Amino acid sequence: MPSNVNRGPRQIWAALIWSLKGLRAGWCVEASFRLEVILLVILFPIGLWLGDGALEKALLAGSLLPVPAAELLNSGIEALADKLWPEHNPIAGRVKDMGSAAVFLLMLNVLVIWIVILGARLS
């Protein structure tokens, strides 16, 4: 790594600002992201409350965080694909479908974790 790259507080601050801009853009542009954030805000504390011990709390609450993160990545991929291929393109369609599938798999992961942990208490 070049020695002239400054990795001090200013760069950390700049990275934080860029991240906040990305979160704001996701909130303003993507309805799916807004819904996932609302569900996160509701379910995260419920997961902490329902979890029996640190591991269950971490699994129930922590499994929610990757979903909106993946949604942001998917939205970025979709925006880039739309910019590169404004006309219908099978590769762009496949890329967008795969990004959507990644979000879907993370949602399934949340369901499996919540069902396994909370379902065990019902049996």
- Give the residue extent of every domain in the chain: 9-122
- How do residues 41-82 score in pLDDT, each as one tens digit? 999 999 999 999 999 999 999 999 999 999 999 999 999 999
71 catalytic, yes or no? yes
pLDDT of residue 121: 84
Q: What is the mean pLDDT of residues 3-29?
A: 90
- Among candidate residues 30, 36, 56, 71, the one labeled active-site is 71
Question: Sign of dihedral through CA atoms 92, 98, 104, 110?
Answer: negative
Q: Is CATH 3.40.1000.10 what the domain over 9-122 is classified as, yes or no?
A: no
Q: What is the pTM for the complete model shown?
A: 0.87
Distances (CA, A) of 60 to 45, 67, 82: 9, 13, 35
Q: Would you say residue 3 has pLDDT above 80? A: no
